[in-house]
Amino acid sequence: MSRVTTDSQDHARIAEPAGGGAYDPIAEGYAAENEVSLLNAHYERPAVLELAGDVTGRRILDAGCGAGPLSAALRDRGALVTGIDASAGMLEVARRRLGPDADLRVADLAEPLPFADAAFDDVVASLVLHYLRDWGPTLAELHRVLVPGGRLIASVEHPFVLATTRLLAGEKANYFGVTERTEEWTMGGGSTRLTFWDRPLHAMTDAFTAAGFRIEVISEPPAVPGAPEMFPEDFATLSDTRFLAFLFFVLTAD
């Protein structure tokens, strides 16, 4: 599940919950904004689907599925999708979208996953890893549930933009460390506090390779065609449809 703007913020970073029901108080408002926001609906989600390619018949774990928009898109493309999320509230919204027969489970990515070895051909982790302080155990579990040669397609908040935002705000920016960040979000009449763990690019790639993944793609894609016309203010100062927001990876399980 990916972050959207809050009632008190402009389009900024977007992220994803892990650890209990942090998203439960804002589940309905979050899901509604996620459907239409620039960063989710017209940038991050299309980029993940483009990287996934032809998924017909592939067993895919949507790790951090939230309200299920990515699961729905993958299923529409012929994938066999299982969704997990730490928020029961978000899964309620996802079940309304995907139907009563959808395979949706409450699960915390910081804990062992309730799946057999080699249960999936692909895992998509859309804006969820940055909720975890330690990526090692989670990546080991994702590797375990993938078939040999299976793919992990992941998106995270771009570490460069996080550091730059702090510097522009006059704050100290420790780009090279793993640092904790807490934000309060108010959406749809509810409020919650979310904690993120920011880390540099080299820490991400080191964690991937240590868990047995081979890095195939690191991507900084453009927004979808037509986005500048839909969101002219957001693109007013940009030279094209690329902007720093998220970083995307395609990794292969060796």
DSSP string, 147-189: EEEEEEEEEEE-HHHHHHHHHHTT----TTS-EEEEEEEEETT
Cα 1 from Cα 124, distance rounded (Å) = 11
Cα 176 from Cα 201, distance rounded (Å) = 9
Could you tell me the pLDDT band of residue 11, with boundaries at 50, 70 and 90? Answer: very low
Could you tell me the pLDDT band of residue 189, with boundaries at 50, 70 and 90? Answer: confident
Output the six-digit token pair for 194: 């979310």
Cα 75 from Cα 171, distance rounded (Å) = 43
- Mean pLDDT of the region 148-158: 97
Cα 62 from Cα 155, distance rounded (Å) = 12
Given a cut of 80, whether residue 1 has pLDDT beyond it is: no
Could you tell me the pLDDT band of residue 167, with boundaries at 50, 70 and 90? Answer: confident
pLDDT in tens, 35-64: 999 999 999 999 999 999 999 999 999 999
Q: Would you state the pLDDT for residue 163?
A: 87
Tell me which amino acid residue 148 is. P
Least reliable range by pLDDT among 7-11, 133-137, 233-237: 7-11
Higher-scoring residue by pLDDT: 125, 23 = 125
Angle between helical axes of 135-145 and 201-210 (0-180°, round to 10): 40
- Mean pLDDT of the region 113-117: 98
Output the six-digit token pair for 108: 């915390």
Output the six-digit token pair for 80: 């066999």
DSSP 3-state of 226: coil
Q: Would you state the pLDDT for residue 20?
A: 57
Q: Mean pLDDT of all residues in the chain?
A: 90
Q: Would you state the pLDDT for residue 18?
A: 44
Given a cut of 70, whether residue 148 has pLDDT beyond it is: yes
